[in-house]
């Protein structure tokens, strides 16, 4: 397996809307809507309707979407949305599957810039979970560069 694919994301979602295209490969999975990405899968944390527009402007080509959250009118009909109870939990499951299957080529970003406009979610558990996921991603990336001897330390 290489990059995160449309099919991988669809298997995690309860349902999907928009174009069904098994050839879609995601170069990035990201939570910061202001982060510039190439062919990204956006993970809205709060205020999904407000943040998705910014994410699309910065390279999102699809998004997880909270089940029951109203869809904004500006979403193009063909834009893939993957409906899940929790976008962050879905992104965590996607990361684990990607790592388990030996994925390569997709970057995961679970962080926000420290300076200027810090993200302060209403749910205090979100920053802790983001930090855990970012550490999991960075640790896995470092391990991929190791030979067997350094992975056993």
74 is a domain residue: yes
Provide the pLDDT for residue 152. Answer: 37
Q: What would the DSSP string read from start to end of the chain?
A: --SEEHHHHHHHSSEEES---TT-EESEEES-TTS--SSEEE---S-HHHHHHHHHHTTEEEEEEETTPPPPTTS-TTS-EEEES-HHHHHHHHHHHHHHTT--S-EEE----SSSS----SSTHHHHHHHHHHHHHHHHHHHHTS-HHHHT-
Q: Which domain holds residue 9?
A: 4-148
| Block residue for tokens 């009909």 | 77
* Mean pLDDT of the 66-92 span: 96
pLDDT band (50, 70, 90) for residue 85: very high
What does the alpha-carbon distance between residue 62 and residue 75 come to, in Å, rounded to a whole number? Answer: 10
Straight-line distance from the first to the last Cα atom of the chain, in angstroms, rounded to the nearest whole number: 27
Does residue 66 register a pLDDT over 80? yes
Provide the pLDDT for residue 115. Answer: 55
153 is a domain residue: no
**What's the pLDDT tens digit per position in 96-152?**
999 999 999 999 999 876 555 556 677 788 888 999 999 999 999 887 654 433 433
Provide the pLDDT for residue 111. Answer: 87
33 is a domain residue: yes
- CA angle (31 as vertex; 98, 76 as ends), nearest 5: 95
48 is a domain residue: yes
9 is a domain residue: yes
8 is a domain residue: yes
Provide the pLDDT for residue 10. Answer: 97
Provide the pLDDT for residue 153. Answer: 34
CATH of the domain at 112: 3.40.1390.10
pLDDT band (50, 70, 90) for residue 65: very high
**What's the pLDDT tens digit per position in 18-64?**
999 999 999 999 999 999 999 999 999 988 998 999 999 999 999 99
The structural domain count of the chain equals 1
């Amino acid at each position: 397996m290489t990059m995160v694919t449309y099919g991988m994301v669809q298997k995690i979602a309860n349902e999907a809307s928009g174009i069904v295209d098994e050839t879609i490969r995601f170069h990035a999975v990201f939570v910061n809507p202001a982060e510039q990405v190439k062919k990204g899968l956006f993970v809205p944390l709060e205020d999904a309707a407000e943040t998705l527009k910014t994410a699309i402007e910065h390279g999102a080509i699809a998004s997880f979407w909270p089940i029951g959250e109203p869809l904004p009118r500006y979403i193009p009909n063909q834009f893939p949305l993957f409906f899940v109870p929790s976008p962050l939990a879905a992104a965590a499951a996607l990361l684990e599957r990607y790592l388990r299957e030996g994925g390569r080529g997709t970057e995961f970003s679970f962080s926000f810039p420290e300076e200027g406009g810090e993200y302060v979610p209403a749910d205090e558990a979100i920053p802790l979970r983001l930090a855990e996921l970012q550490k999991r991603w960075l640790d896995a990336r470092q391990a991929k560069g190791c030979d067997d001897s350094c992975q056993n330390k």
